[in-house]
Structure formats: structure tokens, C-alpha cells
């Protein structure tokens, strides 16, 4: 059974940090790119970061560059998203997803085959 399980969300004050985790199982993790998305109430889901498992290359949405860091632990089949200097506008449900092609080739959300259930991040001002 394919599973992506996010964890690490919570309620934090502005300026704080969180590390989100995405644990994968049931598929060949090394063959997939893992993306992080977020969806705030009333807004569309947006991609914030991606890591290609094949070469370790990483990509970030411009608005999160410098505050978000994506990384991967090969031994644990887990991808992390470190979020620093949290802002109220970061409040959203954060999802991870897996795509069978490198991040560079992903130009549509439909490229992602598997999705996690999401983890809530709430930032208070």
C-alpha cells in the first residue's frame, strides 16, 4: 500500500520554526520527486518546494526562498521541510506528494501520483 504521511505541524508564534516530515512507503522512493504543497482556507493549493530523489536537486517557490529548506533522509524514506521565521500567511494545511519524474520536469500538479493527508500549520501573530 502506497502511503505518504505528513507530521510536524502545529500552532506556533510568528518568528518561530517548524520541521515537517513526509514519511513514504509502498513505492520505490528513489524513483520519485517529492513536493511540498500548502493550501490556506479559501485559496488554491500551491507548490512551495520540491526535491528530486534522483540527484538531490531542490526547488522553491520564490515567496519561501531563504525561509524554507527541503531535505531528504534516504535511510528513512523521509523528506523534511524546515520552515523558519514563520509568518501568519504561512498558515495552511501542508501536503507532500510524489511524482515519478524530476522536479525540473514537473509543470502541473497532475504529475503527482501520490498524496499525503496533510498536516496543519497555524501561525499566530
pLDDT in tens, 68-108: 999 999 889 999 999 999 999 999 999 999 999 999 888 88
How do residues 32-59 score in pLDDT, each as one tens digit?
999 999 999 999 999 999 999 888 899 9
For residue 29, pLDDT over 90 is answered with no
Report, in angstroms and rounded to the nearest whole number, the Rg of the chain calculated over CA atoms.
13
84, HSE (Cβ side, Cα atoms, 13 Å): 6
Q: What is the pLDDT of residue 56?
A: 87
Scanning 1-125, the segments in alpha helix (DSSP H) are none
Distance separating alpha carbons of residues 24 and 91, to the nearest angstrom: 24
CA 10 to chain centre: 15
- Residues in contact with 111: Cβ distance below 8 Å, sequence separation at least 6, in sequence order: 99, 100, 101, 105
Average pLDDT of 114-118? 97
C-alpha 57: how far from its chain's center?
14
Query: Which pLDDT score, from 0 to 100, does residue 111 have?
Result: 92
Read off the pLDDT band of 18 (50, 70, 90).
Answer: very high
Instruction: Compute how many other C-beta atoms are within 10 angstroms of the C-beta atom of residue 109.
Output: 15
Amino acid at each position: 500500500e502506497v502511503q505518504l504521511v505528513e507530521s510536524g505541524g502545529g500552532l506556533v508564534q510568528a518568528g518561530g520554526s517548524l520541521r515537517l516530515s513526509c514519511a513514504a512507503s509502498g513505492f520505490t522512493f528513489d524513483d520519485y520527486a517529492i513536493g511540498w504543497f500548502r493550501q490556506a482556507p479559501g485559496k488554491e493549493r500551491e507548490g512551495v518546494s520540491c526535491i528530486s530523489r534522483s540527484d538531490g536537486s531542490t526547488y522553491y517557490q520564490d515567496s519561501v526562498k531563504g525561509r524554507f529548506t527541503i531535505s531528504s533522509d534516504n535511510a528513512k524514506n523521509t523528506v523534511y521541510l524546515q520552515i523558519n521565521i514563520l509568518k501568519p500567511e504561512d498558515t495552511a494545511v501542508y501536503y507532500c506528494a510524489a511524482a515519478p519524474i524530476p522536479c525540473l520536469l514537473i509543470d502541473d500538479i497532475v504529475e503527482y501520483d501520490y498524496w499525503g493527508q496533510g498536516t496543519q500549520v497555524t501561525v499566530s501573530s
